[in-house]
Amino acid sequence: MIDSREASEALSDINDIAERVRQSTIYNLASLTMILWGVLVFAGNLGTFGWPRYAGYVWLAVYATGIAGSSIFSALDYHRTGVRSFGYRMLIALLLFIGFGMFTSWLGHFGPRQLGTFWTIYFMLVYTMVGLWFGVAFVVIGVGVTVLTLIGYFFIGAWFVPWMALVNGGGLILGGLWMRRN
């Protein structure tokens, strides 16, 4: 028989592993979703830069593809692990989040530059907040992309949109790949 100190260490070990499994499951799905959104945002920004008149349609396609893709990844992940990470509540939350962003954009009469900045920082705010519960990787990505976005807004002139393709799209892709390594 073991003493209470050894029993306490064993329980602590069990809790530590359970937490790691939970974090690893979340990171696995989140990293795939981030890479998907990174590619879409990269394409969306390049589309906006090349064909500014059709920017509205481009971003509509980006969001529709992103939500559909995230749902598919979640369904595949659920089939594999039995853990539902992107259920109907998450879908409703995402739609409410996007709806509020659209309302704010309309209310604020944002120009294209402000729109690009607002939507990126708005999404990164969620990443940062999520990171407070689910791991430091989200916080690093959220804060890093926000800082680079603000640098672009204030200091990068006519090349702001391609800058955002690199910073936001590239940042999400790199962040997703980094999470897969961890």
Chain residues binding another protein by CB under 8 A are 1-4, 7-8, 10-11, 13-14, 17-18, 20-22, 24-25, 80-83
Answer yes or no: are the C-beta atoms of 31 and 137 closer than 8 Å.
Answer: no
Answer yes or no: are the C-beta atoms of 77 and 29 closer than 8 Å.
Answer: yes
What minimum distance in Å lies between the beta carbon of 12 and another protein?
Answer: 10
Judged by CB, which is closer to another protein: 3, or 158? 3
Answer yes or no: are the C-beta atoms of 44 and 58 closer than 8 Å.
Answer: yes
> In which residue are the tokens 């890479």 written?
35
Judged by CB, which is closer to another protein: 3, or 107? 3
Judged by CB, which is closer to another protein: 84, or 113? 84
Answer yes or no: are the C-beta atoms of 153 and 110 closer than 8 Å.
Answer: no
What minimum distance in Å lies between the beta carbon of 78 and another protein?
Answer: 10
Judged by CB, which is closer to another protein: 20, or 113? 20
* CA–CA gap between residue 48 and residue 126 (Å, rounded): 24
What minimum distance in Å lies between the beta carbon of 137 and another protein?
Answer: 15
What minimum distance in Å lies between the beta carbon of 27 and another protein?
Answer: 11
How many H-runs (helices) and E-runs (strands) does the chain carry? 7, 0
